[in-house]
Structure 1
């Protein structure tokens, strides 16, 4: 008796996960309007899914928003740790700082949600933001300490926080197109950011170094 042929079950082509699609679609909406005004119905319509698909992955809009912040925050902190982890002198510290700034601008929508629209949204969101910022600050402090072995650990820690403060405030200014950014223009604004980072990394607030 001839052996029967087993029909092959066709497999769907590889597609991005629906969870990822929801996150990316939500970013586009959260970046252009206040998150509290973005509805689940608007999100699923934007990504061409059903409410059932949304609730399969997330229990609420707030959970999705927290995920959006966490995904970018993890990338941001990990980039900071890698970039500043390779820095051994002041030029390397500054290059890492500017690279982080540029990477955030390259991901404008995600960065806008993280640095602008999520600020002060909730205690949980703020705790997440501060956790990622603390990781980046520690990486910056370690790089500053390597670049200047004579600097105290306390001074390096302050300077690490100072670098992150400059980056975060500058990113908020550019991403939100505030008056300082619009007055200076893109090129002069970037020059100011670089100058502030250099001042913190080479002197540090309150330092007596010349």
Structure 2
């Protein structure tokens, strides 16, 4: 059966991601292959290919395709890395990470979002992707150290607990700030952390704690 969204994916990758300078072939191929419509609420399947973020419920969004591609390229993934993602959200970025890295651990503070992401990710059949519900401010110390850490929501400042879980030579990528946010890439060199300001961004805020489950309706 022909994929009805294949053309939209190809146009998204060509016109929104590659055209703006993302060159990593593995990133472009993964975005071309993975059905983005699996990760959005019913009725938004075509809208998810538009050039912008899209609400997925719980005051959360699936990020603009270009930003997803840009951040994946900025992580400099080779296929062997152990990755921590803080903020599973829709699961779309987690699925792409699982296609591009070695092992991926993703933590989400909103149980309903985690359940939805788990259902979508089951369609990907990726055995190297591990989801959990928890407070992203604490990371997942039991699985540390990580070669890559990526935040999909913006804290005022990156929590110290996450830096302690970053392996030597590793990269931590995070939107940081409140009213004005910047995408920051940190590299660990032994005891030192090198900071690189990449570009201005606008992400939902990174909140503390685990959100209580909504009561049954």
Computing the radius of gyration from Cα coordinates, the structure with the larger value is 1
- Does TM-score exceed 0.5, indicating one fold? no
By relative contact order (CA 8 Å, sep 6+), the higher-ranking structure is 1
Per the normalisation by structure 2, the TM-score is 0.26
Q: Relative to total residues, which structure has the larger strand share, 1 or 2?
A: 2
Q: Relative to total residues, which structure has the larger helix share, 1 or 2?
A: 1
